[in-house]
Structure 1
Amino acid sequence: MLSDRRTNHLRQRRPQRVPEIMSVYRDKARGRYVFEFDARIDGQRVRARKILPKTWSRTQAETFGERERARLYNHVRNGHRAAHTIDDAVSKYLDYRCPELKSGRAAAAELAQVHWAFSGKPLTALDEVCREIARDGREDKPNRRPLAAATIRNRIRYLTAACRYAWKFHGMGETDPAARVSVPEVRNERHIYATRAEMLKLARACRNRTVRAIIRIAFYSGMRRGEILRAEPRAGLFVLETTKNGMPRRVPIHPRIRCCLSIYPITISVSTIVKHWMIAREATGLTHLHFHDIRHSAASEMINADIDLYTVGSVLGHRDPRSTQRYAHLATQTLATAVDRIGRRK
């Protein structure tokens, strides 16, 4: 039996064991769960901290914590594993992020279309994969015409979003894999506008009373078709709790469409609107007009009334000022007036 002195000596020489700390907690300031890990694995100190997506529940956060803990142990004990693949990143995006997005189904469908390009490729090759997607999309093939520039751009954007999400929230890769990706620019704005007379001509040609009112509302509010269907007329405003850019919006109700409010709540389907719109186009000879052109026509009317682009963008619900720049060419008179005032005395 060892003496107390000998026992104390051995205790002093024995290396201190660092206890494993693995926690998932809610950061109230950020409104998100946070994963933290601190342990000594085979003599190596390993620390990790990740801020998790805002929409995750505690169960999702804890599940991620357990998986990440296992990944960190495997990473140290088995050496550096094979590089993360784009397949891994897309799988995480489809499992965790897409269900939270309004465009989740569209994202999944577009990612499936480019699986051939990224299958088995490492995350570090994302920029090369995106260049290949762009090159292939522009080709004229025997069984397929070249893809629209907007389609190519959207597919690249979905893929880069998936990889950036996996890097940011699932620890895939050391740096942002999308940093070197160049997204093709698209210049496909339509500059076709309906006059008030043409709008009324279309509305009168509609056999369906509700569709007739919807056409007038689109012209006098600048709302998108889906927004018109979801809007709630309240105290002189069209109230939109959800919009394309994710922000709520309030659109003043024009006096000339107050008589149209009786159609709310709107119960007809989008297909019914499309059907009667197409019939009205044929009847009036205005077959070049799309329904969305009526929204652009609202912007045209405001600009021709000397309303500034910033205000027009606010009415239309543009989050990015660049979206409103498509109407800048209509504001020539306003620009001329502004230039004419340079150097004038007040």
Structure 2
Amino acid sequence: MHDVIVVGGGPVGLYTALLLRQAGLHAVVLERRAERSSHSRAIGIHPPALRALEAGGIADELRSRGVRIRDGVARSGGRHVGTVSFSTLPGEERYVLAVPQAVTEEILERRLEQDFPGTLQRDVAVVTTHDAGDHVLAVTRAHGRDAVLRAKLVVAADGARSSIRDDAGIRAPSRRYPDCYVMGDFQDETGDGDDAVLYLETDGIVESFPLPDGIRRWVVRLGCPVERPTAEDLTDLIRARTGVDVDPGTNSMLSAFGVQSRLAERFVSGRTVLVGDAAHEISPIGGQGMNLGWLDAARLVPIIAASLRDGDDVAARLALYERDRRAQAALARRKAHLNMALGRPLPAPLMRPRNAILAALIRNDSVHAGVARAFTMQ
């Protein structure tokens, strides 16, 4: 009998398990992938999440392996529109930390294995779960053999298409957006240093973010899906919209994706609790999803520990967790909606006055501070 089974060994599942083990609970992480993915979508770690990661003891290593983005620069038609500086933020973390997701997962997995060997079990698929009232049964499949595990609680960290959420009978209606993107990582020869740059262009936004080792990520908004993106096509789009030359031969990651969001109607059902994308799928534009998941874990684990370790009645605390985290996810979804709207195509006669208004707002100290907080989830 485990205290907790965490389903999903991504960054949110790994961090949840690390906090559970540090709280003295017997937790196991079941991950269907045999190996850690080298593909890095999520890169931005925002100040509230970085402070939460301090509790896991991994924040310093993340800082040492990341790039600190202190300014976001907006350009349009080759002209400077405005700069949002994070120097006005409260606290010590006055930046967004850019770390490839693969590196983040590597750090989390290594820390978990060093401190609590055997917690992560790879190549184990959870076929189904069943709430038996006083415990949960999880049917697993590994190497062609089925087994049944028991736990006092299951934490679903198995992503936006969570089967554990379905087993618990929790609905999570989805919403699709008319936005598609293609992104890639290339050697950085822009001279933009550690600044994030947003190109507000008539054909749609182009975003670029610094990464460690002299790499820069480029994200281009399109109006229709791209099934087989190529580095050459992406660099042609970047050049056509921004005038920036990017060498396709230096490409190290390439991806295309559409956007949808979903918000589970409940985060808690019996002995099943949802965290991360299983609870709330948010557009990756704005980089909030992974951070929200870590903040879920930071709020949830003390409640689980109070219940399973200390025997406290935590029903009211769980209800508050669900209400507060759903509200935060809904707020993040609205921010992502605004971010995507800002990046959609706009005719030049409308783009110029829109950008002039943005520039004037950014120059206002109060608005500037509010935008900096919004972009960093504060």
Report which of the two has the higher share of strand: 2
TM-score, with normalisation over the residues of structure 1?
A: 0.20
Q: Choose 1 or 2 for highest CA Rg.
A: 1
Q: Choose between structure 1 and 2 for higher RCO, CA contacts under 8 A separated by at least 6 residues.
A: 2
